[in-house]
Amino acid sequence: MNRLIEQFKRSLVIAGKNIRIYYLKGPVIIFGLVFPLFLTLAFIIGRNISLRELLPGLIGMTAFFTATAVGPSIVPWETRSRTLERLLCCPVTLWAIVLGDILSSFVFGIIISTIPLLLTLSLAVGTLDFVTLFLGLIIANLCFSALSVLLSAYPPTDVPATSMMLSSLVKFPLVFVSGVFIPLEYLPQLGIAVASLSPLTYLVDLARHLILKTGFYPLTLDFVVIIIFTALFMFVAVKLHERGLVKRLS
């Protein structure tokens, strides 16, 4: 147990290092701030729907884009700048390094996605279960961060732009199939089946439950599925990074 705690502390040190180094990198700002901002404007402006009805999609989209902005670039950057080998020489397990990367991505996501959450609070006071929504947002941010670090594992490239581009290829389709633009109840059976494979679906559904009281899945199921996705992404991320390590070091 002591070993686990010690490794977790070292994950926090790695997360701190990542925050200091990678938050201000150009691609992170573009994919994590500029992009979601314009997508949000495109999502809101000119639609004949009330802001309150747009909020679940807005929360989901913001969390998804911001939490996945930092993760894909860290390992490629470390490979390119030749700091990865230095890091791996330290008494830190690979899972602790991956967790550190996930946590730094998570912090970026949670800070930015608090903005639509505060907007929600200002509009939906009274009946809103803010604590549950915030808890859901925390778990979902962790899940999306784990996905982003997983996406940086393959191919084991040392070009951050390549990793960012490939992760965008996964991220964009997920946004369109996750009930952000069209609620799940209006989707055909095939659409619902595809949406069920995306973790974003469950955050948007969770937010619709708590803000609009019209969720598709039971609230507990939303939480459980997001937690399962998080554990799965973390596990696969560690395994894939482990497999690509020799290639990265060569």
**Interface with other proteins by CB under 8 A: which residues?**
3, 6-7, 9-10, 13-14, 17, 20-21, 81-83, 85-93, 245-246, 249-250
Q: Report the alpha-carbon distance of residue 100 to residue 117 in Å, rounded.
A: 25
Considering beta carbons, is residue 80 or 115 the nearer one to other proteins?
A: 80
Min CB(83)–other proteins separation in Å: 6
Between 20 and 52, CB nearer to other proteins:
20
Can you read off the two tokens belonging to residue 84?
Answer: 């990865």
For other proteins, which is the closer residue by CB, 111 or 249?
Answer: 249
CB of 63 to other proteins, least distance (A): 27
The minimum distance between CB 210 and other proteins, in angstroms, equals: 39
| Cβ neighbours of 36 (radius 10 Å) | 23
The verdict on whether omega for the bond into residue 188 sits within 30 degrees of 0, i.e. cis, is no
Compute the distance between CA of residue 234 and CA of residue 22 in angstroms, rounded to an integer.
21
Residue 67 CB, nearest approach to other proteins (Å): 22
| Minimum CB–partner distance for residue 106 and other proteins (Å) | 20
Place of tokens 């784990």: 146
Token duo for residue 129:
């279960």
- To the nearest whole angstrom, how small is the minimum distance from the Cβ of residue 91 to other proteins? 4
Tokens of 31: 């994919």
Instruction: Please say which residue, 4 or 44, places its beta carbon nearer to other proteins.
Output: 4
C-alpha distance across the termini of the chain, in Å? 34
Nearest to other proteins of 52, 82 (CB atom): 82
DSSP state of 202: H
Least separation in angstroms between CB 13 and other proteins: 4
Q: What is the C-alpha to C-alpha distance for residues 74 and 167, in angstroms, rounded to an integer? A: 13
Judged by DSSP in three states, 237 sits in: helix
- Residue 238 vs 245, nearer CB to other proteins: 245
Cβ-based neighbour number of residue 15 at 10 Å:
19
CB distance 200 to 60 below 8 Å: yes
* CB nearer other proteins, residue 85 or residue 185: 85
Helices (H), the chain: 2-22, 26-29, 35-44, 51-67, 71-80, 84-88, 94-123, 130-151, 160-176, 189-195, 199-212, 219-249
